[in-house]
A and B are shown apart, each in its own frame.
Chain A
Amino acid sequence: MFNRRTLLATASAVVMLGFAPMASAQDDTLDIALISKGFQHQFWQAVNMGAQQAAEELGVNVTFEGPDNESQVDRQIDMLAAALARQPDAIGFAALDSQAATPLLQQAQAAGIPVIAFDSGVDSDIPLGTAATNNLAAAALAADKMAELIGGEGKVALVVHDQTSRTGIERRDGFVNQIEAEYPDIEIVSIQYGGGDHLQSTEITKSILLANPDLKGIFGANEGSAIGVVNGVTELGRDDVVVIGYDSGAAQLDAIRSGTMAGAITQNPVGIGYETVAAAVAAINGEEVPAEIDTGFYYYDASNMDDPEIAAVLYE
């Protein structure tokens, strides 16, 4: 009895002591907590990289956390609550569900902790500014490129990550609206949702291709969807289909280099992280923060992906 209790107690104490120094090391530097929509995904790690870059340059301490997947609204709320309890100097937040987060954001406001929104932002007037990509404009650019590559006519389809998140909705609408407004000879035959999951998006792509043998192009609206589209096209040996993706990642970069994918839209995830932290520091210092911080986007393909300006925002 005594032995087991000591075992557990000792082990816990060891764990505790291990972390104790980390807590005391950050007494006088500014403490900024970033709560993102995801974590392991390469895109979020690129946002984290930009945030850490800014942290180093500006001499502040930045933590970065996000739930395992973009459906875990309650987990994100727990993270935000714990971050608030830490009493940081500023918070960066990318809401999965703005409404669910409102009470905590009000709490932050009451405590005088400035909030900067990033990526898909927050539907609320509490954040001082939002560092994000203009998804509608970015997806419209993808539509223009698609039209150009298929010769302005024929059937196209979309594989989107989901129909509930703001990025999913805006990228879909940005693409669809642009096609409907500018290219009357292009028909959108199918819009399907694969949760950003590689395998699911692959199966969806194959079923779209089998149902529409004369399909000319597919737009994959995020990294996972785009890779799924590439897989589906490859598995069916349909190298005549024009594939346009979104974001980067090693698999997508390879597909563009090898020609399976025509090109992709890249946001500037490093910039999103960097600008969020920079805006947070500005807010702490009482400076004015612009409401919309456009972090930019590019269309890249095999011809320009190695340009320094583009290569800097692509991630493996």
Chain B
Amino acid sequence: MSATTSSSERSLGSLFRSQGAQKLLAFAGLLVLLVGFSVASPNFMQTANMITILQAASINGVLAVSATLIIITGGIDLSVGTGMTFCAVIAGVVLTYLGMPMPVGIVAAIAAGTLSGFLSGVFVAKLKVPPFIATLGMMLILKGLSLVISGTRPIYFNDTPGFTQIATGSIVGTFFPIFPIPNGVVILFLVAGIASFILGRTVLGRYAFALGSNEEALRLSGVNADRWKIAVYSLGGAIMGVAGILIASRLNSAQPALGLGYELDAIAAVVIGGTSLRGGQGTILGTIIGALIMAVLLNGLRILSVAQEWQTVVTGSIIILAVYADMLRRQRAAAAT
């Protein structure tokens, strides 16, 4: 977007302007939904229901943060759904089958995610397999491995006291009993904050955007682009590991057959949040708002007793509408520069 601007100062300015506008647009959509549902049903705007929505958004939100990083580099990660399950199963094996203490299980799950992200990154960057294919392969590999490792049975965490507290307990609630935000939601915001910091303030973030907008230029300027790309995929994998712990904790079990299709919900949250699938731009804040929009929408439609088949139609329409609105904004922004 900044390729045609004359001075770097102007390009920086337009970057902020367009990102600000996108946040506003998605945020306005979220507000409209919240107000609309509140008017439509007295049961919607209740503390317990707001917590329900946040909790429903937390796992998809973490997956979407992972997906945002990869999509910014111009890639795609189809393996986040089954990869999350794989990490949950690893936690289950370490904690329940091997009886290790809880922190070991958490580290193992995140390590498993990092490793799978690293492998995807190697396939994409070194072997030059297109990201869609490489991560499609990883999606199936991880789905299969989850079933193999778990023996196709759910692994329960009954022997690990406190494990369910990771996602469902509420540290916030002990200080503010009026609004007991579950830890899973706090973890989502922590992950989002860290990812946002990495994207905005570190070399890794700068190169992630550069990989997406002009990989060739990055290479020509002497940067080892492959290595940075692998680093981004690994980071995405680590975040996927966090999602694995969250879902395992929320269900108090690692469900090995779960996960297929979750990658599409994550990608939907990313695009609703205004990140372009072409790469080179996007924000974590937008993605979080995208995940919240999806959760609010589904919850609100359910509270209004809308038939399930229509819930799906409405969700699909909102995705197209959001991306279309964003495209209009981009065209306008491009015409203005």
Contacts and interface: CB of A to CB of B under 8 A. Distances in A.
Interface of A: 1, 3-5, 7-9, 11-13, 15-17, 19-20, 22-23, 26, 31, 39, 61, 63-66, 68, 71-74, 77-79, 81-87, 97, 99-100, 103, 162-164, 193, 195
Contacts of A26: 305
Interface of B: 21, 24-25, 28-29, 32-33, 36-37, 39-41, 43-44, 46, 48-49, 52, 55-56, 59, 152-154, 156, 168, 247, 250-253, 255-261, 298-299, 301-308, 314, 317-318, 321-322, 325, 328-329, 332
B304 A23 contact: yes
A166 to B, nearest CB: 12
Contacts of A64: 308
**For chain B, what secondary structure do more than half of its interface residues adopt (helix, strand, loop), or is it mixed?**
helix
A236 B270 CA distance: 46
B252 A99 contact: yes
A23 B32 contact: no
A8 B328 CA distance: 11
Given A23-B40, A73-B251, A85-B52, A15 B329 contact: no
Given A16-B36, A97-B154, A85 B43 contact: yes
Given A72-B258, A74-B59, A103-B168, A5 B25 contact: yes
22 contacts: A1-B21, A4-B328, A5-B28, A9-B28, A9-B29, A13-B32, A15-B314, A15-B317, A16-B32, A16-B37, A19-B301, A20-B39, A20-B304, A61-B305, A65-B308, A66-B308, A78-B298, A81-B55, A83-B302, A86-B305, A97-B251, A162-B257
Given A4-B332, A64-B308, A163-B152, 14 more contacts: A5-B25, A7-B328, A8-B322, A12-B318, A73-B253, A74-B258, A78-B52, A78-B299, A82-B49, A85-B43, A85-B303, A86-B305, A97-B154, A97-B255
A225 to B, nearest CB: 15
Nearest to A63: B305
Nearest to A10: B32
Contacts of B261: 68, 72
Nearest to A104: B52
A74 B247 contact: yes
B102 to A, nearest CB: 18
Contacts of A1: 21, 329, 332
Contact of B251 (A7, A9, A77): A77
A22 B306 contact: yes
Contacts of B307: 63
Contacts of B252: 99-100
A296 B208 CA distance: 60
A8 B317 CA distance: 11
B303 A81 contact: no
A20 B37 CA distance: 8
A163 B32 CA distance: 45
Contacts of B306: 19, 22
A81 B257 contact: no
Given A23-B304, A65-B302, A77-B251, A99 B321 contact: no
B40 A82 contact: no
A4 B24 CA distance: 11
Contact of B305 (A17, A23, A73, A74): A23
B36 A86 contact: no
Contacts of A15: 36, 314, 317-318
Contacts of B250: 74, 77, 100
B303 A74 contact: no
Nearest to A61: B305
Contacts of A23: 40-41, 303-305
Contacts of A195: 257
A195 B257 CA distance: 10
A307 B49 CA distance: 49
Given A71-B257, A97-B154, A162-B257, A13 B36 contact: yes
B251 A82 contact: no
A102 to B, nearest CB: 9
Nearest to A25: B305
A22 B251 contact: no
Contact of A82 (B39, B52, B255, B260): B52
Contact of B258 (A71, A85, A99): A71
A72 B261 CA distance: 10
Contacts of A71: 255, 257-260
Nearest to B156: A99
Contacts of B59: 74
Contact of B43 (A3, A39, A73, A87): A87
Contacts of A82: 49, 52, 56, 298-299, 302-303
A20 B40 contact: yes
Contact of B253 (A19, A97, A162, A193): A97
Contacts of A13: 32, 36
B257 A16 contact: no
A47 B92 CA distance: 35
A17 B304 CA distance: 12
Contacts of B299: 78, 82, 85
A86 B317 CA distance: 24
